[in-house]
Amino acid sequence: QVQLVESGGGLVQPGGSLRLSCAASGFYFSSSAMSWYRQAPGKERELVATISSAGRSTVYVDSPKGRFTISRDNAKSTVYLQMNSLKPEDTAVYYCKARLPNQRTYWGQGTQVTVSS
* pLDDT of res. 115: 98
* pLDDT of res. 50: 98
* pLDDT of res. 64: 83
Residue 65 binned pLDDT confidence (cut-offs 50, 70, 90): confident
Q: How far apart are CA 70 and CA 79, in angstroms?
A: 7
Average pLDDT of the residues of the chain: 97
pLDDT at residue 2 greater than cutoff 90? yes
Report the DSSP beta bridge partners of residue 37: 47, 95
* Average pLDDT over every residue of 70-79: 98
* pLDDT of res. 57: 97
